[in-house]
């Protein structure tokens, strides 16, 4: 059984097609990444899956529940960590969690124990009774994860969970996300604009643009699908080396400059050795050689042609607030 399954899921805003016939299946227990430039439709997808907005057409099943017919059951079975801070900084960590537990009908006899459990899970036990306004940015994100987990959700939605955090804190949050997935047996659906984050955390990634999934696979497979690796050989004789290497089937492109030879090759790590050996056979001294293997950022640019923050985006948390006001 899949944690999420959509069939031709579509959302239109007048003439704008934000999500276009999305067909997506996410296995239970996976960390699934949704990447795309701003305005690509990521937030709209999350908003539909979380029942914040209704689709124009198509359907989606979340944890076995239809997002239209069983919207209340969907909401009860998911947790959400918004991109924007949504805990109350005038309350303590414990008070924030208690308020959330009441909203989600967590039984009073188990509430205290569960609050203590999630606080321990995210490493905030010693700050349980401190005001949230005294917390660092990383601590606030951890508290929001604790809140999202409080009612035992089967899926946790993370909307850019480490945005605005320093590199060290981001790495700590990554550790917590991996721990949550393992200990809580969660399916995690996350959006992020940090390519290294997606590469390290996600089992599966879909790159979306203009409301359509361009490509989907594991990070390793996505990177391997690009044409080749870039190699720069620094030498005083780049033209001679280029002549000597011409005709090799592992070389896709080659260009000499004043003091280096740039190549795009298959299997860069292995064929870098062949390049060095060829240079030695030609009696050409190599000063240095650099291998630039494809990154997830290269994959992203290849399939979207855009930097991740090139456009304006729909906003997941603002949709949620509008939905709440409309009730």
The tens digit of pLDDT for each residue in 134-157 reads 999 999 999 999 999 999 999 999
Q: Domain containing 247 — which CATH number?
A: 3.30.70.260
- What's residue 307's pLDDT? 56
117 Cβ contact list (under 8 Å, min separation 6): none
Q: Is 95 part of any domain?
A: no
Question: Under a CB-based contact definition with an 8 Å cutoff, are residues 153 and 77 in contact?
Answer: yes
282 Cβ contact list (under 8 Å, min separation 6): 240, 241, 244
Q: Is 142 part of any domain?
A: no
Q: Is 86 part of any domain?
A: no
- What's residue 310's pLDDT? 44
Q: Is 126 part of any domain?
A: no
What gap in Å lies between CA 185 and CA 155, rounded to an integer?
A: 9
The partner residues of 34 in beta bridges, in order of sequence, read 191, 206
Name which of 192, 182, 132, 184 is nearest 161 in CA terms. 192
What gap in Å lies between CA 121 and CA 269, rounded to an integer?
A: 40
Q: Is 46 part of any domain?
A: yes
Whether this prediction's pTM lies above 0.85 is answered by no
Q: Are residues 54 and 184 in the same domain?
A: yes
Range of the domain at 38: 2-77+153-223+302-325
- What's residue 308's pLDDT? 54
Q: Are residues 213 and 169 in the same domain?
A: yes
Question: Under a CB-based contact definition with an 8 Å cutoff, are residues 292 and 229 in contact?
Answer: yes
Question: Under a CB-based contact definition with an 8 Å cutoff, are residues 273 and 248 in contact?
Answer: no
The partner residues of 61 in beta bridges, in order of sequence, read 5, 66
Question: Under a CB-based contact definition with an 8 Å cutoff, are residues 14 and 66 in contact?
Answer: no
Q: Are residues 308 and 179 in the same domain?
A: yes
Q: Are residues 189 and 175 in the same domain?
A: yes
Please give the tally of structural domains in the chain: 2
Question: Under a CB-based contact definition with an 8 Å cutoff, are residues 174 and 162 in contact?
Answer: yes
Two tokens, residue 114:
């569960």
Which residue numbers in the chain have pLDDT < 70?
227, 306-327
Cβ atoms within 10 Å, residue 259: 11
SS3 state at 259? coil
SS3 state at 103? helix
């Amino acid at each position: 059984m899949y944690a999420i399954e959509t069939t031709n899921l579509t959302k239109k805003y007048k003439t704008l097609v934000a999500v276009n016939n999305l067909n997506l299946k996410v296995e239970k227990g996976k960390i699934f990444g949704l990447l795309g430039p701003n305005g690509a439709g990521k937030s709209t997808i999350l908003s539909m899956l979380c029942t914040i907005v209704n689709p124009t057409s198509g359907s989606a099943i979340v944890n076995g529940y239809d997002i239209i017919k069983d919207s209340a059951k969907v909401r009860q079975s998911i947790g959400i960590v918004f991109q924007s801070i949504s805990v109350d900084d005038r309350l303590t960590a414990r008070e924030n969690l208690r308020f959330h537990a009441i909203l989600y009908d967590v039984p009073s006899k188990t509430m205290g124990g569960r609050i203590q459990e999630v606080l321990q899970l995210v490493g905030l036990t010693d700050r349980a009774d401190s005001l949230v306004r005294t917390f660092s940015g990383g601590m606030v994100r951890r508290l929001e994860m604790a809140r999202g987990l409080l009612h035992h959700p089967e899926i946790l939605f993370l909307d850019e969970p480490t945005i605005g955090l320093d590199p060290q804190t981001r790495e700590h949050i990554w550790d917590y996300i991996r721990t949550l997935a393992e200990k809580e047996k969660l399916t995690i659906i996350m959006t992020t604009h940090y390519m290294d984050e997606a590469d390290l955390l996600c089992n599966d990634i879909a790159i979306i643009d203009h409301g359509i999934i361009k490509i989907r696979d594991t990070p390793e497979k996505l990177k391997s699908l690009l044409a080749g690796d870039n190699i720069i050989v620094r030498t005083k004789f780049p033209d001679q080396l280029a002549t000597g290497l011409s005709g090799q089937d592992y070389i896709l492109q080659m260009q000499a400059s004043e003091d280096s030879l740039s190549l795009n090759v298959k299997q860069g790590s292995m064929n870098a050795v062949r390049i060095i050996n060829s240079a030695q056979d030609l009696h050409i001294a190599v000063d240095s050689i650099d291998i630039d293997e494809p990154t997830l950022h290269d994959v992203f640019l290849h399939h979207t042609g855009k930097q991740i923050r090139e456009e304006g985006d729909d906003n997941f948390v603002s949709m949620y607030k509008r939905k709440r006001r409309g009730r």
